Amino acid sequence: MPFRIVKAISVTLIILLSLALIFGLFLRTKYIAPVLMYHYVVDTPEVKSDKRIVTPNTFDKQMHFLKVNNYNVISLEEFAGLIKQNKEMPKNTVVITFDDGHLDNYKNAYPILKKYGLKATMFVISDYLSKPNFLTEGQIKEMSDSGLITIGSHTLTEQYLPHIGDEVMLKKEIYDSKRKLEEILNKPVNCFSYPIGGFNKKIRQMVVDAGYTLAVATSPGLNYPNNDTFVIKRVRISENSKNLFIFWFETSGFYKYLLELRKNYENPRNKNDGSES
């Protein structure tokens, strides 16, 4: 092979490797330790159409994957503490959360979490407790006392907060849900989840003033910093993640940035109210 061709190939490879290194270093600056968001863990025909559902079998496989691959699964409060202290997030850190407080969280998800000794936070709609297909007061107390599960507030009635014009009603959703859960659990309730991920500056401040120490959203967008513990970004997990390669990518720490980048490109006028699209 002529020397010129060998030289050209060598230069091209060096350039490609250099670009790959630069891109890798750039991605490292965009790492966001994944906070996973689940809703239902149940076998149902709707699993193919409802992105909020994972089957118990899929959830077991995902939790097994985290356990055997030595992921650092920590509580949401521990996660927020590391951010507030400006500490480096340990490699392969993952947080597990559930929204709405469905009964299957206790019947299907909780036994699997106990099986692998994994912590999670469950956000419950306090006025829905003991209603059909929702958690009971006794169940959330049992899970909270186990040391594995943290119970957080998902408001009183899961209304989309930015649409509540009455400030008294808005405050009631945020404050009274906290008080009700604290009376049941006999311990502070520090975690809050914005229903449908919806919030604004006023709502965020009201959550702070109510005495919560953190709050989770869904996809607030690239304009929101990754170190705001009252707008914690999350990754929604669906049955698509039964493919463990997809689940690995979603828990890699780079998936959220790339997802937000895509959404920003598709909708540059995104209102960034945190809503799940």
Give phi and psi for 133, each to the nearest 5.
70, 15
Q: Give, as one character, the DSSP assignment of residue 89.
A: P
Look at residue 149 and give its three-state secondary structure. Answer: strand
So where are the chain's domains?
1-30, 33-266
Q: Give, as one character, the DSSP assignment of residue 134.
A: B
> Would you state the torsion angle of the CA atoms of residues 56, 62, 65, 67, taken in this order, to the nearest 10 degrees?
-80
Cα-Cα-Cα-Cα dihedral sign, residues 50, 94, 79, 56: positive
Q: What confidence score (pLDDT) does residue 75 get?
A: 97
Band of pLDDT at residue 277, cut at 50, 70 and 90 = very low
Quick: pLDDT tens for 162-186. 999 999 999 999 999 999 999 999 9
Query: How far from each other are the two terminal CA atoms of the chain, in whole angstroms?
Result: 55
Q: How far is CA 167 from the centre of its chain?
A: 27
Report the range of poorest mean pLDDT among 30-44, 54-68, 149-163. 30-44
What is the topology classification, in CATH, of domain 33-266? TIM Barrel (3.20.20)
Residue 3: pLDDT above 80?
no
pTM for the structure as a whole: 0.84
Look at residue 153 and give its three-state secondary structure. Answer: strand
Q: What confidence score (pLDDT) does residue 44 get?
A: 79
**Which residue is listed with tokens 């092979």?**
1
Report the range of poorest mean pLDDT among 107-121, 204-218, 225-239, 248-262. 248-262
Residue 112: pLDDT above 70?
yes
Quick: pLDDT tens for 13-22. 555 444 444 4
**Which residue is listed with tokens 């604290």?**
182
Judging by DSSP bridges, how do beta strands 35-38 and 53-54 pair with one another?
unpaired
Residue 231: pLDDT above 90?
yes
Residues 62-85, mean pLDDT to the nearest whole number: 96
Residues 137-154, mean pLDDT to the nearest whole number: 97
Residues 191-206, mean pLDDT to the nearest whole number: 95
Residue 24: pLDDT above 70?
no
Look at residue 235 and give its three-state secondary structure. Answer: strand
